Amino acid sequence: MDKIKKINFLTQYYYPDIASTGQLMTELAEMLTKRDMDICVYTTKPSYVKKGDAPKFEIHNNVKINRVFCFNANKNIPLGRTINTISFLLSIFIKLLFTDRKAINFIVSTPPLLLFVGYFLFLIKRQKYVLLIYDIYPDVAVALNYFKKDSLIVKIWDWFNKKTISKAERTVVLSEGMKRLILSKFENTDKIENKMSIIHNWADDKFFRLISKEENYFIKNNNLANKFILLYSGNLALYNSFDTILETAKIINDPDILFLIIGNGGRKKEIEDFIEKNLLTNVKMMDYLPFKELPYSISSADATFVTVRDGIDGINMPSKLYTIMACGKPILALGKRGGDVHNMIENAKCGIFIEQGNTKELFDAIMFYKNNPDILKEHGLNGRKYFETHYTLEIISNQYFELFSGIK
């Protein structure tokens, strides 16, 4: 009989956090536990719920959860995020120094510097580790103009990244574009490529499902009946761009069309200021919703937005794609043609792709969907069918099970 695998999940977000990373890691840990893997999570107190208190240790659905110390400074400003990150990294590193070295450390790149914890634990304890890279840093920081590409900090960061990836048992990325970008940083790629896996994100196909507007209480409770709803739901992050969406809202005069933006993040105030300045009555904003509400809020939409800022495609992959497809909703995707998001939309035939910045193209796509309900429905159902054969929790968790099982 095979020995039970012990795996430490290192992630800043976990149950009961409602941030998408927290939801995904909770689902994955619990699925692997059902496959008789011994999962122990190292995280910190939740930051995306109204009540951020949680015990330092608990067992939830057979998963052991350890919460280490982390400052709770304002995460919407750079200094606050830096303080939080440093305190979390130090706390989790010290905690892991005294754990079983035979356990495999599974390290999620939120925050991105967490990857280096695995590398230093390997140097000290020779402890094996697997990386899951959601966003490729420092490339994201360069794309957002935080650092110059040829700056010393970027060179040092890239050097540590290469060291960390080269010593990992496996490195998991979310797309072909992300894999190409990482490999481009190495001179000898064969050894690195052999240890890389593309494993997409996922959604729970029973939780995220088709819900008709007639049975959707979210529509009734929020006075959304008889509206053609265009939804953005998720993190209002700096690496997302909302300019094209908001500029399009300015020129749409159809009173039946409503832009619904649900979420929080670094661009929230900027969006609110734009709405106020331009007196937009066709844009409604809401805060993050409880996780149980998400299938209903997504299903309230006629079409949904996925928006990727220029320079970001190929550096990360929006997790909302999978939940939208699971709910059978067509996608209005804004980004770069030929990128990962564009390719997914084309392969699944589940939406319309628009070049970021092209307001006319987005306007035409919205009106096309509104005037062609049969195609709107067809694109949504195409997304659900593609999701069921590629991105269910069972399919993806099995890929992770095989990955961990293959590490000796």
SS3 86: helix
276 within some domain: yes
Residue 36 sits in the same domain as residue 98: yes
Average pLDDT for 232-257: 94
Task: Provide the 8-state DSSP code for 210.
Answer: -
Q: Could you give the CA distance from residue 67 to residue 42 in angstroms, rounded to a whole number?
A: 6
Matching residue, tokens 């020779």? 126
pLDDT bin (cut points 50, 70, 90) of residue 290 is confident
Residues whose CB is less than 8 angstroms from the CB of residue 210 and which lie 6 or more positions away in sequence, other chains included:
299, 327, 328, 384
The predicted-structure confidence for 298-352, as pLDDT tens digits, reads as follows 999 999 999 998 888 889 899 999 999 999 999 999 998 999 999 999 999 999 9
208 within some domain: no
Is the separation of the CB atoms in 273 and 246 below 8 Å?
Answer: no
Element (H, E) at 107: strand 104-108
Residue 238 sits in the same domain as residue 307: yes
Residue 122 sits in the same domain as residue 219: no
- For 30-34, 57-61, 78-82, which range has the lowest pLDDT when averaged over its residues? 78-82
The predicted-structure confidence for 194-219, as pLDDT tens digits, reads as follows 999 999 999 999 999 999 999 999 99
pLDDT bin (cut points 50, 70, 90) of residue 1 is very low
Per-residue pLDDT at 401 exceeds 70: yes
What's the confidence (pLDDT) of residue 3?
64
Per-residue pLDDT at 108 exceeds 60: yes
Is the separation of the CB atoms in 280 and 207 below 8 Å?
Answer: no
Q: Could you give the CA distance from residue 297 to residue 51 in angstroms, rounded to a whole number?
A: 22
Candidates 44, 42, 25; CA nearest to 33 is 25
- Say which residue, 116 or 80, is predicted with more confidence: 116
307 within some domain: yes
The predicted-structure confidence for 85-101, as pLDDT tens digits, reads as follows 999 999 999 999 999 99
Residue 180 sits in the same domain as residue 248: no
Q: Could you give the CA distance from residue 181 to residue 175 in angstroms, rounded to a whole number?
A: 10
pLDDT bin (cut points 50, 70, 90) of residue 51 is low
Please say whether the dihedral angle defined by the alpha carbons of residues 80, 306, 210 and 283, taken in this order, is positive or negative.
Answer: positive
* List of long-range contacts for 343-351, beta carbons under 8 Å, 24+ apart: 343/176, 347/386, 348/382, 348/383, 348/386, 348/387, 349/379, 349/382, 349/386, 350/325, 350/379, 350/380, 350/382, 350/383, 350/386, 351/303, 351/379, 351/383
Residue 97 sits in the same domain as residue 245: no
What is the token pair recorded at 195? 């240890």
Q: Could you give the CA distance from residue 154 to residue 161 in angstroms, rounded to a whole number?
A: 10
Residue 91 sits in the same domain as residue 239: no
1 within some domain: no
Q: For residue 153, how many other CB atoms are within 10 A of its CB? A: 12
Q: Could you give the CA distance from residue 398 to residue 405 in angstroms, rounded to a whole number?
A: 10
What is the token pair recorded at 215? 């049975």
Residue 191 sits in the same domain as residue 73: yes
Residue 230 sits in the same domain as residue 154: no
Q: Please state the pTM of the whole predicted model.
A: 0.91
Residue 256 sits in the same domain as residue 281: yes
What's the confidence (pLDDT) of residue 339?
92
The predicted-structure confidence for 140-178, as pLDDT tens digits, reads as follows 999 989 999 999 999 999 999 999 999 999 999 999 999
Residue 49's Cβ-side half-sphere holds a number of Cα atoms within 13 Å equal to 19
Domain limits at 89? 6-202+392-405
Residue 221 sits in the same domain as residue 100: no
Residue 383 sits in the same domain as residue 396: no
354 within some domain: yes
Maximum pairwise Cα distance, the chain? 67
Is the separation of the CB atoms in 37 and 4 below 8 Å?
Answer: yes
Cis peptide before 112 (omega within 30 of 0): no
Q: Could you give the CA distance from residue 229 to residue 222 in angstroms, rounded to a whole number?
A: 12
pLDDT averaged over every residue in the chain = 94
Candidates 186, 178, 197; CA nearest to 308 is 178
Q: Could you give the CA distance from residue 385 to residue 348 in angstroms, rounded to a whole number?
A: 8
Q: How many domains does the chain have?
A: 2
259 within some domain: yes
